[in-house]
Structure 1
Amino acid sequence: MTTKRSGKSLTRRAALALGASAMGLIAAPAIVKAAAPYKRTLNMQSLNSGEKLNITYWADGAYIDEALKRIDWFMRDLRTGETTRMHTALLDLLWEIDSLTPSTQPLYTMSGFRSESTNAWLAAHSDGVDPSSFHMRGMAMDLTQDFSDPGMIYRVAKKLGKGGAGFYPVKRPFVHVDVGPPDSWVYPEHGDPTRAERYEREEAEKPKG
């Protein structure tokens, strides 16, 4: 099941040389960029559907539209079959997180895009589901990678500080990452409930055109 990815060996060696601590796992974004300046590839496997996707979605300074469409389908709402255009910032965050971990495993995904109906159903039947979740905007992913260290992705995402990072050490541990306003939490704690409002306000305040 081990899969090697191009452009990642340098960052893994750098991370391992620094040790397995949370600080050691963050080599530096500059190292990541230097290791793979011409393309970005995501290697993912859905724990719910069993589907696998190993795809280069960015190369030579541009996103690849056909690859983005395949990612949108892979990250679809499995309950309804609905898709949305996933935020490229989320893809870049996943790529950067993956580049900064020492694991050779794919990113094991659990939940990508959620329709409003699916999110409402989950919020009604589960604890810890945000009614205004960034999953509904194509800006969030629940995932894991190293089953022996399920909090690894959380430590990396929290250190990067490029969005929300939540660790859920439940029976089937996973990490939530998103590209909304920066925040971090460990379940049963919850993230800041005003993050979606803050995001909408910040987007509305951005200059048009």
Structure 2
Amino acid sequence: MTKQKSSGITRRGLLGAFAATAVSAAPTFSNAAGFLRGAGDIRKIAMHSGRTGERVETIYWIEGEYISEAVREINVFMRDWRTSEAIQMDLRTIDIMSASLNLMDTSEPYLLLSGYRSPQTNAMLRRQSSAVASNSLHIRGQAADLRLQSRSTTQMANAAQACRAGGVGKYSGSNFVHMDCGPVRTWRG
């Protein structure tokens, strides 16, 4: 048995370096789907909720088609937990979340802090914090606030920004990243 010499470069290290520098390279990809194309014929998402105790881990796209049953499961999971109201989540946001998770090379599921918000919930949160937008994309099912224990908010934000497919808000003080499928923009909260 011969011992193989290691170059010292790991797949994880390469992906980390890519995620850190991908913002400058990203213009070659028009949206998150560009990053997902290299993932094969499937797209998947894994999340859990500390508020409801629920988990979802599903393949929601196979060979160019969204799977309606899996999409329904995601919609219910990402509902407004305060009112139990669910709507059709914008699949572009799910694609951004999935692509970002792939770029971070982790098997850890997202902790979903907020997906869909009813107008009533959004108004209540707005009364508590000026950081909540009156016309939030959460109300339209186009945004998610997410956390990972194994990745920093900077790593998460860099991965989402690399997709060049929507808005990315980094809330380091609260330890979460906002991802949406609205106009491409970034901010810190």
> Which consecutive unaligned segments of at least 5 residues does structure 1 have?
1-12, 188-209
Aligned-pair CA distance for 1:33: 2.2
Return the match for 2:76 from 73, 84, 87. Answer: 73
Question: Mapping of 1:99-110 within 5 angstroms?
Answer: 99-110=102-113
**Counterpart for residue 21 of structure 2:** 23
Aligned-pair CA distance for 1:79: 0.6
CA distance in structure 1 between the partners assigned to 2:60 and 2:25 by the alignment = 23
CA distance in structure 2 between the partners assigned to 1:89 and 1:44 by the alignment = 16
8 Å CA contact 1:18–1:25 kept in 2: the answer is: no
**Counterpart for residue 207 of structure 1:** none
CA distance in structure 1 between the partners assigned to 2:110 and 2:186 by the alignment = 20
Return the match for 1:177 from 176, 179, 182. Answer: 179
**Counterpart for residue 137 of structure 1:** 140
**Counterpart for residue 64 of structure 2:** 61
CA distance in structure 1 between the partners assigned to 2:116 and 2:107 by the alignment = 25
Aligned-pair CA distance for 1:112: 0.1
Aligned-pair CA distance for 1:151: 2.5
Change (3 A) 1:161 1:66: same
Secondary structure at the residue paired with 1:96? helix
Change (3 A) 1:103 1:117: same
Aligned Cα RMSD in Å? 2.3
CA distance in structure 2 between the partners assigned to 1:56 and 1:26 by the alignment = 30
Correspondence 1:33 to 2:37? yes
CA distance in structure 2 between the partners assigned to 1:79 and 1:158 by the alignment = 30
8 Å CA contact 1:44–1:53 kept in 2: the answer is: yes
Number of residue pairs the alignment of both structures matches: 173
CA distance in structure 2 between the partners assigned to 1:127 and 1:16 by the alignment = 38
Structure 2 counterpart of 1:65, which letter? S
8 Å CA contact 1:112–1:138 kept in 2: the answer is: yes
Identity of aligned residues (%): 35
**Counterpart for residue 123 of structure 2:** 120
Deviation by residue 1:11-40 (Cα, 9 ceiling, x = unmatched): xx6452254461169997666423x32111
Change (3 A) 1:180 1:25: closer
CA distance in structure 1 between the partners assigned to 2:15 and 2:62 by the alignment = 29
TM-score (norm 1): 0.75
Secondary structure at the residue paired with 1:136? coil
Return the match for 2:159 from 135, 151, 156. Answer: 156
Structure 2 counterpart of 1:23, which letter? T
CA distance in structure 1 between the partners assigned to 2:80 and 2:168 by the alignment = 21
CA distance in structure 1 between the partners assigned to 2:150 and 2:129 by the alignment = 23
**Counterpart for residue 194 of structure 1:** none
